[in-house]
Amino acid sequence: MIGDLLRLDGRTVVVAGAGGGGIGTAVCAAAAELGANVVGLDVDRAALADAEAAVADTGAAAPFRGVVADVRVKDEVDAAVADAVAAFGSVDGLVHVVGGQRPRHWQPADDFPLADLDEVLDLNLRSALLTSQAAARAMTTAGQGGSIVHIASVAAFFAAPFSLAYSAAKAALISLTRTTAAEWGPRNIRVNAVATGTIRTPHSRGNDAADQARDAVLALRRRGTPRELAGAVMFLLSDLAGFVTGQTLTVDGGSTIRPSYLGPDDVPVFMEDGDLRRRLLQQ
């Protein structure tokens, strides 16, 4: 059955950035539901409890294994992947979720502080290289190949005024995805990315007028859920995507298909013919 190809029974999936109740936590729960052993990495020990609870809620047979690690530090990443291999025998999947930027990283390009650029690249790009190198080494030693999924952002595709470092880091992550896919493909290691649109997580803002205005520019008129993002990740992790590598799957509720000249009613803002506008909006 084609649906069986989605199963991850007996496989071990490492999730970097597993806690916090957002995307990483939803990925842990989804992989556990599909039968995987899940090893969650997080710099925050308390945050790992979210992932542990989410996996337990699925009723999955395999217990969640939480490892405290800062994925910006090579030794900690290597030790965490070694821990996963020691516990379960192999690493078959890696989902690198860690990334983002802090409010202070929003700066004009003119004087963008180089220390901030380094910090954002460290968190979003360098850490992804570290985790994927460690996972690829383990996959190569085991000889079975595997699947790596990076969480990128639609910010990679556009100009990003005042957010230079983050969008550049996510664009570079997509490039890293392609290059490692090409280098590791002969070892049956697939590498893909998910370009994420706006997802409602425990850290996102509420549902005030500004949020509703933001949602109005999405084709689906709402933000996504961590579980919807996890679904796309499960496809890429699984054998359903056995011939997919080096790709970036956009999961954004249609934000990237809407040109900026459309108004909230989907009629181009430059359409001045009032009769035509009314006729279109009558349906």
Among 40, 66, 99, 146, binds ligand NAD (CB under 6 A): 99
Q: What x-and-dash track marks residues 199-238 binding ligand NAD by CB under 6 A? A: x-x-x-----------------------------------
Q: How many CB atoms sit inside 10 A of residue 111's CB? A: 7
How many residues in the chain?
283
d(CA 90, CA 193): 22
DSSP code per residue over 32-67: HHTT-EEEEEES-HHHHHHHHHHHHHTT-SSPPEEE
Q: Which of 11, 166, 169, 251 is catalytic?
A: 166
Q: Which stretch binds ligand NAD (CB under 6 A): 12-20, 27-35, 211-219, 242-250?
A: 12-20
Sheet containing 189-196, strands listed edge to edge, beginning at the edge strand earlier in sequence: 65-68, 37-42, 12-16, 93-96, 146-153, 189-196, 248-251
CA distances from 209 to 150, 200, 215, 216, 252 (A): 32, 15, 10, 10, 20
Judged by CB under 6 A, does residue 27 bind ligand NAD? no
Residue 71 vs 241, nearer CB to ligand NAD: 71
Task: Give yes or no: 261 in active site.
Answer: no
Judged by CB under 6 A, does residue 72 bind ligand NAD? yes
Residue 36 vs 80, nearer CB to ligand NAD: 80
Site for ligand NAD, residues 164 to 203, rule: CB under 6 A: 196, 198-199, 201, 203
CA atoms within 13 A on the CB side of 254: 11
Among 8, 13, 14, 20, binds ligand NAD (CB under 6 A): 20
Cross-strand pairs, 93: 13, 147
d(CA 173, CA 175): 5
What's the closest the beta carbon of residue 130 comes to ligand NAD, in angstroms?
Answer: 10
Residue 34 vs 71, nearer CB to ligand NAD: 71
Q: How many CB atoms sit inside 10 A of residue 87's CB? A: 13
Q: Any residues with CB less than 8 A from the CB of 170 and at least 6 apart, and which?
A: 99, 124, 152, 153, 155, 156, 195
Q: Which stretch binds ligand NAD (CB under 6 A): 15-23, 108-116, 157-165, 237-245?
A: 15-23
Among 38, 39, 41, 234, binds ligand NAD (CB under 6 A): 41
Among 8, 22, 189, 241, binds ligand NAD (CB under 6 A): 22
The residue count for binding ligand NAD (CB under 6 A) is: 25
Chain Cα centroid distance, residue 249: 10
Judged by CB under 6 A, does residue 252 bind ligand NAD? no
Binding footprint of ligand NAD on the chain (CB under 6 A): 17, 19-20, 22-24, 41-44, 47, 70-72, 97-100, 151, 153, 196, 198-199, 201, 203
Among all residues, which ones are annotated catalytic? 166
